């Protein structure tokens, strides 16, 4: 089976009491198995809306969206969404936070619990399992949030600007950390960001979007950078070439 996500000529208009807002104009792209795709575009261009469409939370006005070959009609167990802020619950321990998705979907059985324990141990969080989020660094919190997202064993992770609350140095480290975990767990990921360097450092392919209503300006394959982890990519000469190329694509005056 080829595409995990297929979006074709997607268009979405929000109806508000005052007006109709065209958030997405015309967007087509695919996400393949184990692939990491980044959606890059200006603030307000419709990126989160597209994730909402794929997550089954918003309906397209025109066009089609399929997940694992099936038209999207609502939330799917194949997909997990990691939101902009980590949204860990302060009154729950790290372990209980990690189990939250499973409890909500009534799948907190022994096998799933053991899977969560294994993930916490594999990614260095076992000793923090009984601590509360406020006792962890920003990076550790983000890793905990990712493990909660992985707990339901989805095929596809949707990441909506997951590092935007972190300072620059932490952000570099955490993005490398998250990239490694997603790779190791064999997941496909769709990352929304307005940070070009973040996209180039993490993605296999980059979909460059226009201003609202989003249209696809270019789809770029990172080629030789694909196997390299984020911090190594940033050292390569081609890194800044990709950065400049995407910068120019985003610039409307060209």
- Summarize as ranges the residues that interact with ligand ADP (CB under 6 A): 14, 16, 21, 23, 41, 43-49, 212
Q: What DSSP element (H or E) covers 148?
A: helix 138-150
d(CA 197, CA 203): 10
Q: Min. distance of Cβ 180 from Mg ion in angstroms?
A: 25
Q: Between 81 and 151, name the residue whose CB sits nearer to ligand ADP.
A: 81
Instruction: Measure CA of the first residue to CA of the last residue in the chain; give whole Å.
Output: 39
Residue 162 interface partner, choices ligand ADP, Mg ion, none, CB cut-off 5-8 Å depending on type: none
Cβ proximity to Mg ion: between 48 and 144 the closer is: 48
Q: Hey, is 90 helix, strand or coil?
A: coil
Question: Is the backbone peptide bond immediately before 213 cis, with ω within 30 degrees of 0?
Answer: yes
**Total number of residues binding Mg ion (CB under 5 A)?**
1
Give the nearest distance from C-beta 231 to ligand ADP in angstroms.
Answer: 27
- Sheet bearing 36-40, strands edge to edge: 70-71, 62-67, 3-15, 20-32, 214-221, 205-209, 36-40, 188-193, 156-160, 79-82
Contacting residues for 233 by C-beta, under 8 A, at least 6 apart: 200, 201, 225, 239
Closer residue to ligand ADP (CB): 84 or 173: 84
Question: Closer to ligand ADP at the Cβ: 61 or 173?
Answer: 61
Per rule CB under 5 A, is residue 193 in the interface with Mg ion?
A: no
Query: Which CB sits closer to ligand ADP, 142 or 210?
Result: 210
Q: Which residue number has the CB closest to Mg ion? A: 48
Question: Please, which of residues 35-94 interact with Mg ion by CB under 5 A?
Answer: 48
Q: From the CB of 22, what's the least distance to ligand ADP, in Å?
A: 8
Q: Which of 252, 179, 162, 147 is nearest to 210 (CA)?
A: 252
Partner touching 16 among ligand ADP, Mg ion, none, CB below 5 to 8 Å by kind? ligand ADP
* Least Cβ distance, residue 47 to Mg ion (angstroms): 5
Peptide bond preceding 102 in cis form (omega within 30 of 0): no
Q: Which does 169 bind (CB under 5 to 8 A by kind): ligand ADP, Mg ion, none?
A: none
Name the site residues for Mg ion (rule: CB under 5 A): 48
């Amino acid at each position: 089976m080829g595409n995990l996500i297929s979006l074709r000529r997607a268009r979405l208009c929000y109806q508000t009491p005052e007006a109709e807002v065209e958030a997405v104009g015309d967007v087509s792209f695919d996400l393949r198995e184990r692939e990491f795709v980044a959606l890059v575009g200006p603030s307000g261009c419709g990126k989160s809306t597209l994730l909402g469409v794929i997550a089954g939370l918003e309906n397209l006005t025109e066009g089609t969206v399929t997940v694992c070959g099936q038209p999207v009609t609502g939330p799917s167990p194949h997909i997990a969404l990691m939101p902009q802020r980590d949204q860990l619950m302060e009154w729950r321990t790290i372990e209980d936070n990690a189990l939250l998705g499973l409890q909500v979907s009534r799948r907190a059985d022994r096998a799933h619990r053991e899977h969560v324990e294994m993930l916490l141990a594999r990614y260095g969080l076992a000793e923090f399992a009984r601590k509360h989020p406020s006792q962890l660094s920003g990076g550790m919190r983000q890793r905990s949030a990712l493990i909660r997202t992985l707990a339901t064993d989805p095929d596809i992770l949707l990441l909506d600007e997951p590092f935007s609350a972190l300072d620059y140095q932490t952000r570099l480290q955490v993005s490398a950390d998250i990239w490694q975990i997603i790779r190791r767990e064999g997941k496909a990921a769709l990352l929304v960001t307005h940070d070009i360097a973040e996209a180039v450092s993490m993605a296999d392919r980059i979909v460059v979007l226009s201003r609202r209503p989003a249209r696809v300006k270019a789809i770029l394959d990172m080629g030789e950078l694909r196997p390299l982890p984020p911090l190594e990519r940033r050292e390569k000469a081609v890194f800044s070439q990709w950065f400049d190329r995407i910068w120019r694509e985003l610039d409307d005056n060209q």
